Amino acid sequence: MIRLEGITKQYHTGSKQVDALSGVDLTVARGEIFGVIGHSGAGKSTLLRSINLLERPSGGRVFVDGKELTALGAKQLQSERRRIGMIFQHFHLLSSATVADNIAFPLKLVKTPKAEIERKVSELLSLTGLEDHRHKYPSQLSGGQKQRVGIARALANDPQVLLCDEATSALDPQTTNSILNLLLDINRRFGLTIVLITHEMHVIRSICDRVAVIHGGRLVEQGPVTEVFLKPQHPVTREFIEQVTDPVELPSSGDEAARLLRLTFLGDSTYEPILSRAVQSTGVTFSILQGTISKLKDTPYGQLVVKLEGDGEAVKQTIETLRANGLDVEVL
C-alpha cells in the first residue's frame, strides 16, 4: 500500500547541512496499523510527512497504492492527497467554525453537493461520538473531543490512508486510550491503512501490527510488534520498552544468577500452567521475582523473571522442558 525507497531529507541552515532522513526504506501493507517510534528530533515527523509529500524528500521515491507520488505534477498530487487523511497533535481546527463545519470543510473545498455534505457529516459525527456537539465551537470542547473532530475531518473524503502525527501526545492517559480505541475501530470497520508516529511505547503496544524504530534519521529496527517488543535488538528500542516495563533487579551472587530465567509467553500459552508442570516433573522449586501479563494489540503475552533452585541437571532439564513447550527462555 505504501512504499518508501531510499528516502533522504536534508535541511540547510546557513552553511550547515542537517540530515533529517538518511536512506529510509519502508513498506506498509494495506489495512495494517503501522507505528513509527522515536525520540524528539529523530526524524519521525519528517518521515510521516514525506508520505503525502507535505515534506518533499531530497531523494528517493514514495509510492502510495501503486502510484509514485514523487513523480506527479502539482495538480495530480493534490488529487492523490485527498485519498490520504491526516490528524495532528494540536488538532488544527478552525476556531470560528462549528464542529459540523470543521468536518465539512474538506468536502466544501471539492464542491461536494450540500445534501451529500449533510449526510456525510452526520455519519462522521455518529462514528466519532460527537452527535451532541454538532453546533459547538472548538473552544467549548475537551482535548479528546477536539481530536475526534480532527479524525472525523480527516475521514471526510473517504481516504485509503490515515496519517497520525503524535495524535495522542497532548492527551491524558484515559483520553489517549479512547482515541486509540476509536482508531482501532476505524481500521477494522473500513480496512483503513493507518501510519502513526509517537514517542510512547504504550501507543505502539495497544494498536499497532508492526513498528519501526527511528534514530538519527535512520530506521534502526522494524518488524511485528510482538517480535520487536519482546526481543528488542537496538539500545534505543530497549529504552522505549522500559517505558512500559519495570527494571529487573538481579541478585549479586554468581551462583544464583546462573539459575535466573526470563520466560516469555505468547498467545494462548500465556494462560497455561507451563512452568508449574515443568518443575513438577523435575523436582525443581521456583520463586517469581517479577511478572506481567498484558496484550500486544490482540495478542496476550506474559513475562516472568524466576529463580530456579535444585540440582543442576534438574534445572537444565526444566529449561529444556520449558523451551519444548514453546516458551522463550533467557538465562539471566
User: Tens digits of per-residue pLDDT, 19-56?
Assistant: 999 999 999 999 999 999 999 999 999 999 999 999 99
The percent of residues in the chain predicted with pLDDT above 90, rounded, is 83
CA–CA separation, 146 and 182 (whole Å): 13
For 250, residues 6+ apart whose C-beta sits below 8 A from its C-beta are: 257, 260, 332
SS3 320: helix
- What class, spelled out in words, does domain 2-241 have in CATH? alpha beta
CA 264 to each of CA 81, 83, 276, 303, 304: distance values in angstroms, whole numbers, following the listed order: 43, 41, 15, 5, 7
Contact of 4 with 62, CB cutoff 8 Å: yes
Q: Is the pLDDT of residue 76 over 90?
A: yes
Type of residue at 139: S
Q: Quote the DSSP letter at residue 14.
A: T
**DSSP 3-state of 91:** coil
pTM: 0.90
Q: Which fold has domain 254-331?
A: Alpha-Beta Plaits (3.30.70)
Q: Which pLDDT tens digit goes with each residue over 131-176?
A: 999 999 999 999 999 999 999 999 999 999 999 999 998 899 999 9
CA 294 to centroid of chain Cα atoms: 16
Whether residue 257 has pLDDT greater than 70: no
Domain definitions of the chain by residue range: 2-241, 254-331
Contact yes or no for 259/309 (Cβ under 8 A): yes
Rg, Å, the chain Cα set:
24
